[in-house]
A and B are shown apart, each in its own frame.
Chain A
Amino acid sequence: MIFKLLLLELRSIRSDGRLLAMVALAMATLFLSTWIGAESQRMAAEGRAAAIETSRQQWEAIDGLSAHGVGHYGSYVYKPSSPLSTLDAGVMPFTGKVVRVEAHVQSPPSHSDAGSWSSLIRLGAFDAGMILSLLIPLLLAFSAFSSVSRDRETGLLRVLVAQGVPLRSILWGKSLAYWCLSLLLVGALIASHVVLDQISGGPLSSDIKTRLLLFGGSHSLYLLIVVLLSVWVSARVSDSRSALMILTIAWLMTSVVLPRVTAEFSSQLFPLKSQITFEDDMAEDRSKGLDGHNPRDERRNEVREQVLKEYGVEKVSDLPVNLGGILMQKDEEYGNLVWDEHFGRRHETVRKQIGVVQAVSFLDPFLAARGLSMAFAGTDQFHDAQFQRQAENYRRDLIRVLNDLDATAGTRRDNGRWNREKIDYATISDFEFESQSVGFALGHRWPEAASLLIWVLFSAALIQRGTDKIPIVGSSR
């Protein structure tokens, strides 16, 4: 019965020129966004390759600097785009793309797109994630708002029920018909992405394929929720106009107002220190010691005594190594503790803020869909934090290698002075980003996944069990 009703509704949709035009428009928009996104990604990849090349040339041209001097000269790490960022750019426009890697300092990423754009950047991105989670639901709501109420107003609903068709089957038939339209859009989007990837020669790894499927799956589930709720509202409310207003307000609240209010609320609930306080606190800990009682000079003296004892000599000029390099590395390790403490606290606060949003996603499925969309595209805050962590690990390794070279690459002269050897810095490799598996995304976004599933069950239950109070006859008749 449901299948027959589904076919009937699809036929009715096929004869509705407005709906077909909307579907065509949505599909064209999705294709266009994917194509432009792929083009932008290609240019970004070229830009990144050129930047890496320039930076590498500068690195290899270093001459006349000590190993620690090279640590100050530093390097740059360039953030790669996620292969699925063409589908959902996520937080990428707001996060820095370049990390300065140098001794003594953990630098946050800089040069974000948002840093050089006008306020246009606040008006959303033209990508499939935005279209599927923001626009298609609105179009579906505007298509489905009169799906039942119109039949009631024309008397068709009364006829169908009188003929023994269960009301819930009618609602399921209509819901599934609109969901089929959504699946058509999601399927076409994924197919177009795969085709574009094939054309550009990029092989799809199994992880990307899984991510792509989950991306499409999460959006399909969200659209199912939208469709079920829209059809239920259309059935429950006495007239089409009221249904339209309820759906418009609901969409507005869930997709536009609540995400912003939740983000504001979370930042007020778990406030971040201002940049100036953050930097001041780090500088203070860096110079005074983590517990505030261990001045830097005392630590340096301690290390010197340890090294002298270790090598069994009494004077620094008798050491077979360069004490400067060892001191720098010890200082670096102490600095790393400070960075871990402060950046760790900051990341923890951000994680709590996101936790608030994840909790609210149980009230607002849009937040769940958006979080999952970004996560599966590899463009959410957690993926960005992972890039920052890898860049920082690279910095620590690089500076350790340089400080070790500073300590050991040389010989002690007879006059006790340290004679540095010439070092070929070109042998030190560049940063390589290790992408995260889909398990990483799911591990951080399970609340959103759970929220989406609960919403699917809830809205399905509304259609299945909540038909008792649905009026069959319109009030005007």
Chain B
Amino acid sequence: MISLSLSIVRFECQRLVRSPMRLAAMGVFLLCGMYAISSGAHHVSEWEKTLKELSSRDASLRSEALGWYAEQVSGPADRDWIDITQPRYADRYASAHAVMEPEPLAALAIGLSDIRSSWAVVSATRGAQPFRTSDPATLGNAEKLLSGNFDLAFVLAYLMPLLLLVLMFDVGSMERDLGIMRTVRTQTASPRAWWLLRVSLPILVVATLVGVLLVLGGVWTGAIESSFSLWKTFSLASMGYVLLWGILFSAVLSAGSGSSTAALWMVGLWIGFCVLVPAAVRQVVGSQLPNQYASELTTVLRAERYEILLGEVEEYRDSFYSSRPKISPPTETPDRGTASNMDRMMKEAAFLSKVEEVSAEISEREIQREAAVASFGWINPAYVFQNSLCVLAGTESVNFRNHRNGILLAVRDRMESLIGLQWKMSPIEKADFESLFIHENWLKHGQSPQKDALLKGASLALVAAFFASILSRSKRTRERKTGIV
């Protein structure tokens, strides 16, 4: 057995070395992987740069306002209408952004982070804008987005199966082409072990190359250092995916065809699983649950907002106080300015509730659409794998949905703080002003449910094993019937 293994290893090594195309394919794969890691790292550095810009902008506005407090003035001399002790201006100068920071693995799977925005303004008086996070790309080059991103997740999900195909398609089938399969079987002590070793070696080679890229990516982006457990899960999922394609291609080879037929089958599987099925699933689910023209949201943001702002405050007063037991209507009649501010705050609170409602509806629809996509998961391994990696990297739609909810929570938080300050009916002091931004609990990373990724990987492996058993069973049946090896 050991001598068989050694001779097969020697044979496969010679075959690799003597085939410039195979070596070139491996070299191209490694180069693509390295380029993908560098491209992802560049993207994340731009992401971090934007967050830094936001942070410095926030700091600059806040320090300007704190300077007025220090000088005991209400605002700048050249803009006398600004009064930092009033909620409206305190809200503006306590500048804050709800941001989504890149996770440690974000550079390896950038997912939707080049399509969706990772930040939004937190303001209670300028209208909540959680959906502004959805479309920064419309200002950019959509043809670039159409081309797709070139990150490690893409290299692993798309290119790795093709490398495996190039290395595997003539394993066994070449012997059939040359008509020496029967000789091989008779001269080998264990044909099954011979076959298993032959198909295992290309899988091992590809797994090694993938491992090299994962380690390189982990070290380059600092993911191994900052979150080893996430990187470990990411790597396990990737190795599982290599194994999945290895099993699928082995099943094709075990069906006992020649090299060109095997190659056709393999490329058919690749096209099916990596291109056709994901695209078809998107089209089918899209036609069942279409993304229409966002009428409900635009209605809230325009018609309903105006209806609330131009309507009578009495309409919202009862619900405002009943949902805030700690606040009660002022016992003394406030001055005109304060009364107007309080009315405005009640209306803004009513508007925010509307935005929260419509946001929940839209999120629900997105979840339904994703559930419909997930129901095709068993025939959609490339997407399941990519989705798992993106979830781990915090760049999938679920992470951005959490971020959107985070924005709404941050705005709600700001709103309640301002309401509390407004109902004190006294000018906002420095400490109160600072309290508006001191607890930036909305600074969040994407969530990374590692278990989900592993569960998805395990279910895919089961499906692969099922396919493999069907294919190899049909091969054994045919061999029994025809006697042809």
Contact = CB atoms under 8 A, between A and B. Distances in A.
A266 B150 contact: no
B413 interface: no
Given A91-B145, A111-B293, A124-B275, A249 B28 contact: yes
B32 A124 contact: no
Contact of B276 (A126, A244, A346): A126
A112 interface: yes
Interface in B1-59: 21-22, 24-25, 28, 32, 35, 39, 42, 46, 49-50, 53-54, 57
Given A244-B263, A256-B159, A134 B143 contact: no
Interface stretch (B232-240, B299-307, B315-323, B442-450): B299-307
A275 B51 CA distance: 11
Contacts of B362: 116
Contact of A123 (B132, B267, B382): B382
A241 B362 CA distance: 52
B114 to A, nearest CB: 10
Interface string B153-171: 0100011001001100110
A256 B29 CA distance: 12
CB-based closest 5 A-B pairs: A115-B134, A126-B279, A123-B278, A91-B142, A51-B293
Contact of B116 (A115, A245, A381): A115
A278 B54 CA distance: 13
Contact of A274 (B28, B49, B137, B274): B49
A121 B293 CA distance: 18
A323 interface: no
A91 B141 CA distance: 9
Interface in B326-364: 362
A36 B279 contact: no
B72 interface: no
B197 to A, nearest CB: 21
Contact of B145 (A22, A94, A278): A94
Contacts of A276: 50, 53-54, 57, 119
A178 to B, nearest CB: 15
A110 B295 contact: no
Contact of A120 (B32, B35, B132, B373): B373
B147 A262 contact: yes
Nearest to B119: A276
Interface stretch (A71-79, A306-314, A411-419, A432-440): A71-79
A300 to B, nearest CB: 15
A384 B148 contact: no
B369 A117 contact: yes
Contacts of B281: 120
A256 B158 contact: yes
Interface in A51-97: 51, 54-55, 58, 61, 64-65, 73-74, 76, 78, 90-91, 94-97
Contact of B42 (A36, A112, A268): A268
Contact of A96 (B135, B165, B369): B135
Given A114-B145, A125-B283, A274-B50, 10 more contacts: A36-B284, A51-B298, A58-B303, A78-B293, A95-B137, A110-B138, A111-B294, A124-B148, A127-B283, A263-B141
Contacts of A112: 134-135, 137-138
B302 A116 contact: no
B260 A118 contact: no
Which among B111, B146, B170, B302 has the highest number of chain A CB atoms within 10 Å? B146
Interface stretch (B211-219, B383-391, B422-430, B459-467): B383-391
Interface string B358-400: 0000100110011001000000001100110010000111100
A301 to B, nearest CB: 15
B88 to A, nearest CB: 17
Contacts of B148: 122, 124, 259-260, 263
Which among A36, A50, A130, A275 has the highest number of chain B CB atoms within 10 Å? A275
A116 B140 CA distance: 18
Contacts of B306: 65, 73
Contact of A116 (B21, B132, B170, B366): B366
Contacts of B115: 94, 114-115, 121
Nearest to A117: B397
Interface in A244-296: 244-246, 248-249, 252-253, 256-257, 259-264, 266-268, 272, 274-278, 280
A43 interface: yes
15 contacts: A51-B294, A73-B302, A90-B146, A94-B146, A110-B134, A113-B286, A114-B137, A118-B373, A119-B395, A127-B283, A240-B260, A275-B139, A276-B57, A350-B140, A374-B143
A365 interface: no
A50 B294 CA distance: 11
B138 A264 contact: no
B459 to A, nearest CB: 17
A284 to B, nearest CB: 12
Given A114-B115, A138-B267, A248 B166 contact: yes
Which among A55, A65, A146, A244 has the highest number of chain B CB atoms within 10 Å? A244
Contact of A259 (B49, B137, B147, B267): B147
A139 B376 CA distance: 25
B112 A119 contact: yes
Contacts of A58: 299, 302-303
B431 interface: no
Interface of B: 21-22, 24-25, 28, 32, 35, 39, 42, 46, 49-50, 53-54, 57, 111-112, 115-117, 119, 131-132, 134-150, 154, 158-159, 162, 165-166, 169-170, 174, 259-261, 263-264, 267, 271, 274-276, 278-284, 286-287, 290-295, 297-299, 302-303, 306, 310, 362, 365-366, 369-370, 373, 382-383, 386-387, 390, 395-398
A380 interface: yes
A245 B143 contact: no
A280 B154 CA distance: 34
A14 interface: no
A63 to B, nearest CB: 9
A54 B21 contact: no
Which among A100, A122, A130 has the highest number of chain B CB atoms within 10 Å? A122
B175 to A, nearest CB: 13
Contacts, number: 271
A130 to B, nearest CB: 7
B432 to A, nearest CB: 28
Interface string A11-39: 00000001000100000010011001101
A286 to B, nearest CB: 16
B21 A246 contact: yes
A109 interface: yes
A98 interface: yes
A210 interface: no
Nearest to B42: A268
Contact of A252 (B21, B149, B154, B159): B159
Contact of A267 (B141, B170, B280, B382): B141
Contacts of B140: 272, 350
A121 B261 CA distance: 32
A108 interface: yes
A154 B249 CA distance: 28
B290 A244 contact: no
A119 B134 contact: no
Contacts of B369: 116-118
Which among A50, A145, A241, A249 has the highest number of chain B CB atoms within 10 Å? A241
A47 interface: yes
Contacts of A134: 275
A116 B291 contact: yes
Contacts of A135: 271, 275-276
Given A135-B275, A244-B263, A357-B143, A119 B390 contact: yes
A386 interface: no
A299 interface: no
B372 to A, nearest CB: 11
B462 to A, nearest CB: 22
A245 B390 contact: no
A40 B134 contact: no
